[in-house]
Amino acid sequence: MGILEVKDVGKRFGGLQALGDVNLSVKENTVHAIIGPNGAGKSTLLNCLVGKLIPDTGSVMFDGQSVLGRSPHEINQMGISRVFQTPEIFGDLSVMENMMIPCFAKRDGSFRMRAIENTMREKDVVEKAEAMLVDMNMADKRHMNAASMSRGDKRRLEIGMCLAQEPRLLLLDEPTAGMARADTNNTIDLLKQISDERDITIAIIEHDMHVVFSLAQRITVLAQGTPLVEDNPENIKGHPKVREAYLGE
Ligand code: ADP
Ligand code: MG
């Protein structure tokens, strides 16, 4: 049994079957990539896992508990954290202030923006945020305005903010989209480090095959809303159906 078990999940938008009978098992403490052409249903699947969409059919179990019918907040509390396609940070706050938000929310179960000044005086939250910034190799940037950072550093901060929630499953939707090669490589190194050092499972949707093959132990190929094949990277690389459907050969 995987930490995440998706069984026969289907999702329809009007006349369009975006997902049809998706089965997926993600093993604990692995990096599992989901690849597939544009419109294959990757983001729709992710949205079904975090409560943003409710599948029409099937089940989604996380650590033996159903996530279906729970709100995104409840699912987050269960231990699933998600990194979006575009970085979701507060541009007008400093790096440190950004990092304090999930640290505060983790402690109290929620966070209200107006509490930020009071939060700055709460030692345990400050200490945790500082430790997270050290872990993310961002301590020297703590006073920087978050908006002024490079795309790679914004992504690094956002991933750190997710980790501060202490998730057991980290979901990423194309975390390197639109990044220059150097930032992409930094992101690969960061995710490798996280996967090596933490007790965490990572499921990543990714277009960039360099990223996929650098990180994933398992790969699921989605095509037209259905898993085409699931295998290890070596077999995926040589799979004729994958080359045809995904690499356009
Ligand atoms: P991917 O992330 O693999 O590129 P998506 O999951 O975003 O694919 O989309 C799968 C299909 O579902 C596409 O045809 C897309 O246009 C459609 N789709 C996605 N979200 C919606 C929505 N909210 N309403 C209608 N159609 C949608
Ligand atoms: Mg997508």
Name beta bridge partners: 188.
none
- Phi then psi for residue 11, to 5 deg, are -145, 130
pTM listed for this prediction = 0.92
Q: Is the C-beta atom of 182 inside 6 A of ligand 1?
A: no
> Are 79 and 63 spatial neighbours (Cβ–Cβ below 8 Å)?
yes
Q: What is the pLDDT of residue 151?
A: 87
**ipTM of the complex model:** 0.98
Given pLDDT bands bounded at 50, 70 and 90, which one contains residue 117?
Answer: low
Q: Which of 155, 150, 203 is nearest to 176 (CA)?
A: 155
Q: Is the C-beta atom of 47 inside 6 A of ligand 1?
A: no
Q: What is the pLDDT of residue 114?
A: 54
* Atom number of ligand 1 nearest to Cα 37: 3
Q: Is the C-beta atom of 20 inside 6 A of ligand 1?
A: no
> Does pLDDT of 17 surpass 60?
yes
Given pLDDT bands bounded at 50, 70 and 90, which one contains residue 105?
Answer: confident
Q: Is 45 helix (H, G, I), strand (E, B) or coil?
A: helix
Residue 91, both tokens: 């541009």
CA distance 186 to 155: 10
* Ligand 2 centroid, distance to 17 Cα (angstroms): 15
* Ligand 2 centroid, distance to 18 Cα (angstroms): 12
Residue 6, both tokens: 């998706």
Q: Of the ligands numbered here, which is closest to the C-alpha atom of 172?
A: 2
Q: Of the ligands numbered here, which is closest to the C-alpha atom of 173?
A: 2
- DSSP state string for 117-140: HHHTT-HHHHHHHHHHHHHTT-GG
Q: What is the pLDDT of residue 208?
A: 87
> Does pLDDT of 132 surpass 80?
yes
pLDDT in tens, 135-144: 999 999 999 9
**What are the CA-CA distances from residue 49 to residues 89, 165, 235 (Å)?**
22, 17, 27
Q: What is the pLDDT of residue 85?
A: 64
* Arithmetic mean of pLDDT, 61-75: 95
**What are the CA-CA distances from residue 150 to residues 9, 141, 144, 165, 184 (Å)?**
37, 11, 11, 23, 12
The domains found in the chain, sorted by start residue, are 4-79+167-245 (3.40.50.300), 90-150 (no CATH)
Q: What is the pLDDT of residue 112?
A: 63
Q: What is the pLDDT of residue 116?
A: 63
* Ligand 1 centroid, distance to 9 Cα (angstroms): 15
* Atom number of ligand 1 nearest to Cα 41: 6
Q: What is the pLDDT of residue 239?
A: 87
